[in-house]
Structure 1
Amino acid sequence: MSDPKRESAELSGTVNREARFQERLVRLPEVMARVGMRRSAIYQRMRDGSFPRSRSLGSKCTVWIESEIDDWIKSVEAT
């Protein structure tokens, strides 16, 4: 016989792992369009610690995690 609690926990763990791997990475032009700021303003706020940090995927590839940008937008809307 199967244990419904165990199956539920296993399914929940699978969903959490899948959600973590479905995180979208966005490049600077999309970040600029979504937040309505220019490159210099974004990088200044990153230095100040008031904007999500970018990640480097190589010498010429910088990305942001979409959910962090979304959270920042929500925090600005709330103020």
Structure 2
Amino acid sequence: MYVCLCKAVTERDVRRAIDEGLASMRELRRELGVCSCCGKCGPAARAMLAEAVPGDRPGAVGRAVPGEPAAAV
């Protein structure tokens, strides 16, 4: 199923990227283009990250990545 119609990114693409070590929305946006157009794919991509990445791992959803500025909430 497509997660991002704007960039033609599928669930499989997102899962593969997470399996390869991507652990934040910033990384998914940089590598796959997720959430870089209309933003409607954000909730699905965040849910996939939250499911796959433990919250205490650096770079996880809602966690700071050393060397990168904190995102505004």
TM-score when normalising by structure 2: 0.29
The higher relative CO (CA closer than 8 Å, separation ≥ 6) is in 1
TM-score when normalising by structure 1: 0.27
More helix by share: 1
More strand by share: 1
